[in-house]
Amino acid sequence: MESTSLVFLSIVYLVLVVVHGASETESLLKFKNSLVIGRENGLKSWHRRNPTCKWIGVLCDRGFVWGLQLENFELSGYLDIEALTGLKSLRSLSFMNNKLGGPFPEFKKLVALKSLYLSNNQFDVKIPKDAFDGMGWLKKLHLEHNKFRGEIPASLANSPKLLELRLDGNRFTGQIPEFTHKPHMLNLSNNALAGPIPKILSTMDPKFFEGNNGLCEKPLDTKCSSPYSLSPEPKDNSKKKSSMFLYIVAAVVAALAVILIIIGVIIFLNHRRKKKQSLLTAEPGPSSLQLRAGIQESEKGQSSYHSQNRAAKRMIHTTKLSFLRDDKGKFELQDLLKASAEILGSGCFGASYKTLLSNGSLMVVKRFKHMNNAGTEEFQEHMKRLGRLNHENLLPIVAYYYKKEEKLFVSDFVGKGSLAAHLHGHKSLGQPSLDWPTRFNIVKGVGQGLLYLHKNLPSLMAPHGHLKSSNVLLNENFEPLLMDYGLIPMINEESAQELMVAYKSPEYLKQSRVTKKTDVWGLGVLILEILTGKIPESFPQNSKDSEEDLASWVKSSFRGEWTPELFDQEMGKTNNCEAEILKLLRIGLSCCEVDVEKRLDIREAVEKMEDLIKEREQGDDDFYSTYASEADGGSSRGVSSEAINLS
């Protein structure tokens, strides 16, 4: 019975997908007809012979189109939004970096749209006041670097879910409209806006209002002069009576709310007590290195065994892992728990466990506390974005588990552990420390991973956000793999400020802002750490008066020449490589520039490291002749492993 209805349902679903798919294909082809494609062979794959989801720039989820990402295609012509209304699952559109212009397209026909990117195009028009009316789901709107004119449309300021708004680098004029709520990010810089900045925006970073000349009031330092009425506070007398009535209603509602809260707290506390007994919540004592799943034997007392067992089973029943990659085969949380799990360590976000699947793969499960900044849908969307990343220096997330009270990430186990362990704990690992060529190779890989993140997560201010040596893993060949990237949108703001590396940057400590160069500062600190062997956290932190951190210590100790005391003695012999090491040190220091304007950007930092390799390959003759006499083997420029003093 059940199985036949299941088969029936699957057939219905299949038919739906096929029929719907065909209409999506037609919609997209119609849309394509309105475009003029400058890039040669740009949309060649958009052809009935190919399945729609394989077309370039078409983003699908379970066979339905949810996004179009047509960036850098030299597109012009007009956008046939009407045609796109045939795509019922469409949520995201990006036409960044093209040559689009003409009247503002009627995006509001796509009511369910969540993000829209039109940055770096050639729009040279006023946007109609009602252009965003009815777009209740719009979260991200990027219109920067066009030539939009006229006033900022009022419908935008009323958009209920707007989180990110970039209008910078246009020609908007007039006053900033009253926003109904404060977006997380709002960049209005380099326009021709004037008048008072609405109160609700007064706590935002002043940078976002720069380059407008006519703006005044907080967060800027300029006061408005008379013609502008300051922060309209509609204290109307005629409304007094009705407000009296409102007070009474409010008081009653408040009383009810208090009662509800008390009941809620009681339920919550009860729930917590129960949850404490659940498996993964049980924090391991320092002595027990093995966390065994309650399904097998428990090392805890007999009495708690049964309740644990029950809690575990209940959890498994309500549990599904969401997979971001399928190259590892499918497994369930159940499989991860069945295997004996070993605690790898507990980072600031929660513990990680190593576990062996029955198919022989070693996986790591990492718990994340502090992760309820985003709603379910937003979380899943962000995870999908992270799942699409693919770079040899990034640790891929294989699957994740999302429940309100528990969030887990599953990834591959990486053989050699973290860079931090190798730099600072190699003696207790019983291993030699890393030699210079290996250290340089690691830094280079980290730079490359970061550059990739910056290119592929352009909407995040600090696409990594949490770069430090304990978040860089080393594989069997000592190639670095970054982990814990892209977390900022998901971590509670409060915890993020307390825990994440981006929030320890000088620009955050001094000006409460995170910029595109904040990750570069993290890279700089990592370079200095790898060269000096000093632990960045061992310098006094967060103290605003004392400037002493690793970067300023290196800066004040570095006299522009080779000083062996400055560098990690464990690096072994450095024959002939002093010049290279000094060059990397200088790169590290430029990445740590306190003044963000002077700091390298990520591309420059990576290029400088690549230049170092090129110079090495061409042979730095001057330097070589000076130091050749001291070299052990004459021609060998790197440090061979025999050259390291292993004692």
Non-local (6+) Cβ contacts of 175 within 8 A are 151, 193, 194, 195, 196, 228
Query: Quick one: 362 or 509, whose CB is closer to ligand NAG?
Result: 509
- Cα distance between residue 179 and residue 167, in whole Å: 14
Q: Is 170 among the residues that bind ligand NAG (CB under 6 A)?
A: no
- Which residue's CB is nearer to ligand NAG, number 187 or number 574? 187
Of 455, 445, 380, which is closest to residue 414 (Cα–Cα)? 445
**Least separation, in Å, of the C-beta of 102 and ligand NAG?**
23
Given the complex with ligand NAG, which of 189 and 433 has the nearer CB atom? 189
Alpha carbons 191 and 146: distance in angstroms, whole number: 11
Nearer to ligand NAG, 145 or 366 (CB): 145
Nearer to ligand NAG, 469 or 518 (CB): 518
Q: Residue 169 Cβ, how far from ligand NAG at the closest point, in Å?
A: 4
In the complex with ligand NAG, the residue whose CB is nearer, 507 or 568, is 507
Q: Tell me the pairing of strands 350-356 and 362-367.
A: antiparallel
Shortest Cβ distance from residue 221 to ligand NAG (Å)? 19
Tokens 């850098």, residue? 72
Strand order in the sheet with 115-117: 58-61, 64-69, 92-94, 115-117, 140-142, 164-166, 185-187
Between residue 90 and residue 149, which ones bind ligand NAG under the rule CB under 6 A? 144
Q: Among positive and negative, which fits the CA dihedral 326, 465, 404, 384?
A: negative
278 binds ligand NAG (CB under 6 A): no
Output 25 or 189, the one with its CB closest to ligand NAG. 189
Q: Does 463 help bind ligand NAG (rule: CB under 6 A)?
A: no
User: Would you tell me how many other CB atoms lie within 10 Å of the CB of residue 365?
Assistant: 23
Least distance (Å) from ligand NAG to the CB of residue 413? 37
Cβ distance to ligand NAG smaller for residue 24 or 205: 205
Q: Which residue is nearest to ligand NAG (CB)?
A: 168
Non-local CB neighbours of 452 within 8 Å, separated by 6+ positions? 389, 391, 393, 394
Least CB distance to ligand NAG at residue 191 (A) = 9
Torsion of CA 2, 21, 93, 489, to 10 degrees: 20
Interacting residue with ligand NAG among 119, 189, 278, 355 (CB under 6 A): 189
CA neighbor of 471 nearest in space, from 414, 515, 430, 524: 414
CB 506 within 8 A of CB 477: no
Minimum Å gap between C-beta 122 and ligand NAG is 16
Q: How many residues bind ligand NAG (CB under 6 A)?
A: 6
What is the closest distance, in whole angstroms, from the C-beta atom of residue 507 to ligand NAG in the complex?
11
Strands 75-77, 35-37: pairing kind: antiparallel
Single out the residue of 65, 177, 69 nearest to residue 112, CA to CA.
65
> Considering only 185-193, 292-300, 327-335, 501-509, which stretch makes contact with ligand NAG by CB under 6 A?
185-193
Choice from 97, 187, 411, 532 touching ligand NAG (CB under 6 A): 187
Q: How far is the CB of 600 from ligand NAG (least distance, A)?
A: 15
Nearest approach in angstroms of CB 526 to ligand NAG is 23
Largest Cα–Cα distance of the chain, in whole Å?
Answer: 95
**Closest distance between ligand NAG and the C-beta of residue 453, in Å?**
16
Give how far Cα 83 sits from Cα of 28, 88, 94, Å. Answer: 7, 11, 16
Integer angstrom CA distances of residue 190 from 102, 111, 195, 202: 22, 30, 15, 18
Instruction: Give ∠ CA 345-348-352 in degrees, rounded to 5.
Output: 30
Stretch that binds ligand NAG, among 184-192, 332-340, 405-413, 423-431 (CB under 6 A): 184-192
Q: 168, 217, 519, 529: which one contacts ligand NAG (CB under 6 A)?
A: 168
Q: Which stretch binds ligand NAG (CB under 6 A): 183-191, 447-455, 589-597, 601-609?
A: 183-191
Pick between residue 219 and residue 432 the one whose CB is nearest to ligand NAG.
Answer: 219
The residue ranges that bind ligand NAG (CB under 6 A) are 144, 168-169, 187, 189-190
